[in-house]
């Protein structure tokens, strides 16, 4: 399936000069959505994954369905103040400033085999922070998956040593 032909590009969103890759066009297409979930399932079905960790918020959509298909649990990583129980926080650098993500402290037990999922791999900063927080809980990161990878931003530099799988890769803006 040619997902690139289904993904919508929105110019100048969220600010001038950005060519935003919108996955809602993939999500609303039953065959495209099924293709995404089944392709990820095929890649990871033999990896004995016990938890799929999805990053707020679009990582929740495919991540939850993938966890179901893999027979694994689903764990959300959220922005600060969104999780009700005791959390572990991870601060990370943005281009201009910092941000924070949180996970429940009891979400992953040491030795669990974890797949992290998000919709887009851009600079790699958020996923790098997510990997750090999962490792702090003792999770073994089996892989990292994305619908879209913006390779021209060189995100893999921040994620070296991890098995990264993306369905669509953009090598130029």
Any idea what the CATH number is for the domain that residue 117 is in? 3.40.50.2020
Q: Which of 48, 69, 89, 95 is catalytic?
A: 95
* 156 found inside a domain: yes
* 30 found inside a domain: no
pTM of the full predicted structure?
Answer: 0.95
Q: Which of 58, 78, 102, 149 is catalytic?
A: 58
* 20 found inside a domain: no
* 35 found inside a domain: no
pLDDT of 173 higher than 90: no
pLDDT for 96 equals: 75
Report the distance separating Cα 65 and Cα 47, nearest Å. 17
Its domain, for residue 127, covers 47-170
- Residue 95 annotated in active site: yes
Average pLDDT, integer, range 53-76: 97
* Phi, psi of 10, rounded to the nearest 5 degrees: -110, 110
- 92-151 pLDDT, tens digit each: 987 778 999 999 999 999 999 999 999 999 999 999 999 999 999 999 999 999 999 999
Number of domains composing the chain: 1
* 15 found inside a domain: no
Where do we find the tokens 């032909």?
Answer: 5
The tokens describing 162, both together, are 């991890």
* 57 found inside a domain: yes
Q: What is the DSSP string of 102-156?
A: EEETTSS-TT-EEEEEEEEESSSHHHHHHHHHHHHTT-EEEEEEEEEEEGGG-GG
- Residue 102 annotated in active site: no
């Amino acid at each position: 399936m040619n997902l690139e032909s289904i993904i919508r590009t929105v110019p100048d969103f969220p600010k001038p000069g950005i060519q935003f890759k919108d996955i809602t066009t993939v999500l609303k297409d039953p065959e495209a959505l099924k293709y995404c979930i089944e392709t990820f399932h095929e890649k990871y079905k033999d990896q004995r994954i016990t938890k799929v960790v999805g990053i707020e918020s679009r990582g929740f959509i495919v991540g939850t369905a993938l966890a179901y298909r893999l027979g694994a649990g689903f764990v959300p990583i959220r922005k600060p103040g969104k999780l009700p129980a005791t959390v572990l926080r991870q601060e990370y650098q943005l281009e201009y400033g910092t941000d924070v993500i949180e996970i429940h402290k009891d979400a992953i037990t040491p030795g669990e085999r974890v797949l992290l999922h998000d919709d887009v791999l851009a600079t790699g900063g958020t996923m790098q922070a997510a990997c750090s927080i999962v490792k702090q809980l003792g999770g073994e990161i089996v892989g990292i998956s994305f619908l879209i990878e913006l390779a021209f931003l060189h995100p893999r530099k921040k994620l070296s040593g991890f098995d990264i799988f993306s369905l669509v890769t953009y090598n130029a803006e």
